[in-house]
Amino acid sequence: MALVEATATELLQRLQTRQISAVELTQEYLQRIERVDGRVRAFLQVEAQSALERSARIDRRRQAGESLGRLAGLPVALKDVICTEGGRTTCASKMLAEFRPPYDAAVVERLKQADAILIGKTNLDEFAMGSTTETSAWAPTSNPWDLSRVPGGSSGGGAACVAARMAPLSVGTDTGGSIRQPAAFCGITGMKPTYGRVSRYGLIAFASSLDQIGPLARTAEDAALLLEVLAGHDPRDSTSADLPVPAYSQTVAQPLEGLTLGVVREHLGEGLDGEVEAAVREALRVYQSLGARVKEISLPHNRYAIATYYVIGSCEASSNLARYDGAHYGYRTDEPTMRAERAAQRQAGTGGKQTSDLDPPLVEMYRRSRAEGFGAEVKRRVMLGTYALSHGYYDAYYLKALKVRRLIRNDFDQAFQQVDLIAGPVTPTPPYRLGEKVEDPLAMYLGDLYTASANLAGITALAMPCGFSRHGLPLGLQLQGPPLEEERLLRAAAMYQTATDWHQRQPAGLD
């Protein structure tokens, strides 16, 4: 078996027993990226030289018998919305094309302390706003299972690189399903931890009350390994939970006895693709064969989740992205061209417009910098959020959305008094074709139908493969758990993966 076909847990064991070196493993993945990524386009940057140098240092330290970190020698990819000191962090946007943070994000610090090899930065929807990785300013990412299909988003690059065996582990972010949806579309395991479980320090914000960093991996066992490194209190993030981190990797293989799974009656019905529904129902039968009990429950306010999510998320995006004005942060328009156009307008009499009516130079620079620096989807959400926050509309939209958010959280609290976890679909459909929904934002937004409520409620949730469509495309199962119950969620996922082999399948035809 080729090295890239092994799981992260298996690779770590080989590294620790010196069956392979960190340099050999890193070279193997770099060669895989060189062969495959020209078609998948999962990476925005590949840090080949620094990865090999770091690998060589780890090999020397291991040879000398020094103590090493938890992930010593294991390559990890990072979503390009997470700051890395001195390297480019672009958010897949022209606005931040040349941004080089002066510091590392908290999760990057933790990965370095664990002696992981940071192999590169992965593609995403611009500023993490999207469900297809098509809104990237550089290029869309393709699904490794079918290069004509989307990989999901916004963490599509991270999911695609793990599915295509270009990295054993990847770090993504989830604001309304942005880890779970691409994990489902790419046939891997992805987890959104509880809000506050992983520090957001150094994460470039989309929606601050919804964003959460989490792992993308082949298996629940691998996800547990990565989460154990990423999680933990950070005083620089005021929302960070000051709680101990369980030993996820040590307990993940322990089956759960007396498990009760809730199935939301509103989730298995109208709007759900028949193949997705059949795969989810079969997964529930597998759990029943393992001793779990399945109980029907209701989340009555879930039907408002999409509207609530897009109001709150867009309002917070409008606020967070206001800083990118061409003066304080981000791309600045070509000022000589701007001045020349203004002079030409004055000379021509502005075509009937009085020169005194023209925007002042500073205002025009702001306006043009943002118009040129942001893509269409980002503009759409910023405008929606700005409108919802404006005078006369705040109470009708943003305040009302916050109240509905509380009702959604109450539904989950009541449900978890009856069941241990909630099981259901991740997405309404299998992966669709590139370009199929990019001109229909509403249809694309409905892809978050089953995922956004977990972000609104701040709970933990996980996606994993549970079958394939008739076209050979991955289908996903979602598990949702109470706040801070990542350990229970990972154990339940691993329990399913011991009884099935969907997570062991891999895309063909890339080599």
- Say if residue 351's pLDDT is above 90: no
pLDDT of residue 338 exceeding 90, the answer is no
Determine the Cα–Cα distance for residues 188 and 217; give it in Å rounded to an integer. 6
Contact 203, 173 (CB under 8 A): yes
> What is the per-residue pLDDT across 72-92, written as a single tens digit (0 to 9) for each?
999 999 999 999 999 999 999
Hey, what long-range contacts does 362-366 have (CB within 8 A, 24 or more apart)? Answer: 362/327, 364/338, 365/326, 365/327, 365/332, 365/333, 365/335, 365/338, 366/325, 366/326, 366/327
Domain layout of the chain by residue ranges? 3-257+460-504, 325-373
pLDDT at 445: 79
Judge whether residue 189 has pLDDT over 50: yes
pLDDT level of residue 1 (50, 70, 90 thresholds): low
Q: Are the CB atoms for 122 and 159 separated by under 8 Å?
A: no
Query: Does this model's pTM top 0.75?
Result: yes
Instruction: Tell me what percent of the residues of the chain surpass a pLDDT of 70.
Output: 95
d(C-alpha 183, C-alpha 191), whole Å: 9
Q: Are 141 and 421 in contact (CB under 8 A)?
A: no
- Output the pLDDT for position 442: 73
Q: What is the residue whose two structure tokens read 């758990």?
A: 481
- For the annotated catalytic residues, the residue numbers are 79, 154, 178
In CATH, what number does 3-257+460-504 get?
A: 3.90.1300.10
Query: pLDDT of 388-442, one tens digit each?
Result: 999 999 999 999 999 999 999 999 999 999 999 999 999 999 999 999 987 787 7
CA angle 160, 161, 164 (to 5 degrees): 80
Tell me whether strands 189-192 and 260-264 are parallel, antiparallel or unpaired.
unpaired
pLDDT per residue over 242-293, tens digit each?
999 999 999 999 999 999 999 999 898 888 999 999 999 999 999 999 999 9
At 34-60, the pLDDT tens digits run 999 999 999 999 999 999 999 999 999
| Neighbour tally for 479: CB within 10 Å | 27
* pLDDT score of 352: 47
The two structure tokens encoding residue 20: 């392979």
What is the pLDDT confidence band of residue 357, given thresholds at 50, 70 and 90? low
Q: How confident is the model at residue 355 (pLDDT cuts 50, 70, 90)?
A: very low
Decide: 296 and 261 in contact? Cβ < 8 Å. no
Give yes or no for residue 348 having a pLDDT over 80: no
CA–CA distances in Å: residue 229 to residues 109, 116, 357, 464 = 10, 10, 57, 20
How does DSSP classify residue 217? E
Q: Is the dihedral of CA 357, 358, 360, 362 positive or negative?
A: positive
Tokens encoding 41: 């386009």
The candidate with the shortest Cα–Cα distance to 158, out of 173, 137, 136, is: 173
pLDDT tens per residue across span 101-130: 999 999 999 999 999 999 999 999 999 999
